[in-house]
Amino acid sequence: MDASPYQTFPGPSKNTICAELIGSDTAAALGITAKGTTPILDLCRQLVEAGSDPTSRLECYRGSVLCLTIRSVVEGSRVRVATHGSGFAPLHECTTAPLVSPPPRNDPKATDGLWRRKRGGAP
């Protein structure tokens, strides 16, 4: 069965991991620090890689204020911010990769013919 990035796990976890959000680009929990444009999601990935319970809830605090809750670290590890700027998308989806492979680099006919067609020459 293919795992959905939004898959939930049976029963709530008894574990809650408390993370600290520092500035706009750093998050830390359990001795792990993540820095980047999406520090909480990066932290989730690092926590899963470190062997934390994947069903653990992640509560993120800025000082003493709870500012974000992630239902389970494995769910947070499988998503990224959507390209349109709001919401989330599965991590494995790539919106910038070409749908076809480029011609092999060692085949001069493949690249030379393409160059001639673009410049208006005969194939």
Closest C-alpha among 62, 90, 64 to residue 76 = 90
Q: Which domain holds residue 48?
A: 16-90
In a domain, 33, yes or no: yes
Confidence class for position 10, pLDDT limits 50, 70, 90: very low
> How many domains is the chain built from?
1
pLDDT tens, residue by residue, 48-100: 999 999 999 999 999 999 999 999 999 888 887 777 666 666 766 545 555 56
76 contact partners, CB below 8 Å, separation of at least 6 = 40, 41, 43, 44, 45, 58, 70
Q: How many CB atoms lie within 10 A of CB 62?
A: 12
In a domain, 98, yes or no: no
In a domain, 63, yes or no: yes
Angle at 105 between CA 99 and CA 106, to 5 degrees: 140
In a domain, 113, yes or no: no
In a domain, 24, yes or no: yes
